């Protein structure tokens, strides 16, 4: 089976070690390299593990007649302007994963503009620490929510700073879950 593991890994700007560590359970960079090059046969189990580590569907890693979602990189924008890439490159458009949800922005707030989509990863209480200094959505009673930067955690209390100038810190106690912002989708 011909795979696109290397192409997608490079598009995600991940090293062999990054993918190996992101696999569940973790593996070695050598194993990922062998699977990429075809030196080792890629089973469905391995394909699913690697796809999850790369945050794509397993079908995105398999060559075939099917249509793959990817975009060719035409230019790289840097401090000196836009230049042609040194080698052929692709980007894989984002795909929602299990446990993800979105926040849409109706009116500009802080760094967010009207029309933005903020993709969030749901976290359970034992993983709240991962969201420190990140924007989060926190559920409140009666279908309400708070959104802001998680600036501190003391036991079961979370300290949030809402977006925008002059906003006051809010403290939330014992939320059942939070959703950490992981991707911003903005139309131009």
With cut-offs at 50, 70 and 90, classify the pLDDT of residue 65. very low
Taking only the tens place, the pLDDT of each residue in 95-139 is 667 788 999 999 988 899 999 999 999 999 999 999 999 999 999
Taking residues 150-172, what's their average pLDDT?
Answer: 92
pLDDT greater than 90 at residue 145: yes
* Least confident residue range of 5-9, 42-46, 83-87, 89-93: 89-93
pLDDT over 90 percentage in the chain:
51
Confidence at residue 38, expressed as pLDDT on a 0 to 100 scale: 85
pLDDT greater than 70 at residue 27: yes
Q: Which residue has the higher pLDDT, 107 or 2?
A: 107
**Domain 5-67 belongs to what topology?**
434 Repressor (Amino-terminal Domain) (1.10.260)
Taking residues 31-52, what's their average pLDDT?
Answer: 90
pLDDT greater than 90 at residue 166: no
Domain ranges, ordered by start, for the chain: 5-67, 100-185
2 burial level (CB within 10 Å; 0-12, 13-18, 19+):
exposed
Q: Which residue has the higher pLDDT, 75 or 137?
A: 137
Confidence at residue 69, expressed as pLDDT on a 0 to 100 scale: 64
Domains 5-67 and 100-185 share a fold: no
Taking residues 13-17, what's their average pLDDT?
Answer: 92
Taking residues 61-74, what's their average pLDDT?
Answer: 68
CATH of domain 100-185: 2.10.109.10
């Amino acid at each position: 089976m011909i795979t696109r593991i290397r192409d997608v890994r490079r598009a995600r700007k991940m090293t062999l070690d990054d993918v190996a560590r992101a696999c569940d359970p973790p593996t070695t960079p050598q194993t990922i390299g062998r699977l990429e090059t075809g030196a080792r046969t890629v089973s469905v189990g391995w394909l699913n593990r690697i796809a999850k580590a790369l945050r794509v569907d397993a079908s995105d890693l398999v060559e075939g007649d099917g249509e793959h979602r990817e975009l060719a990189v035409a230019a790289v924008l840097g401090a000196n302007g836009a230049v042609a890439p040194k080698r052929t490159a692709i980007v894989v458009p984002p795909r929602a994963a299990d446990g993800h949800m979105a926040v849409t922005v109706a009116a500009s707030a802080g760094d967010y503009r009207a029309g933005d989509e903020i993709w969030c990863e749901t976290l359970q209480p034992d993983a709240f620490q991962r969201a420190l200094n990140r924007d989060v959505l926190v559920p409140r009673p009666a279908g309400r929510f708070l959104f802001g930067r998680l600036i501190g955690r003391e036991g079961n209390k979370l300290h949030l700073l809402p977006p925008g100038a002059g906003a006051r810190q809010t403290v939330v106690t014992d939320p059942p879950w939070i959703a950490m912002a992981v991707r911003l989708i903005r139309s131009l």
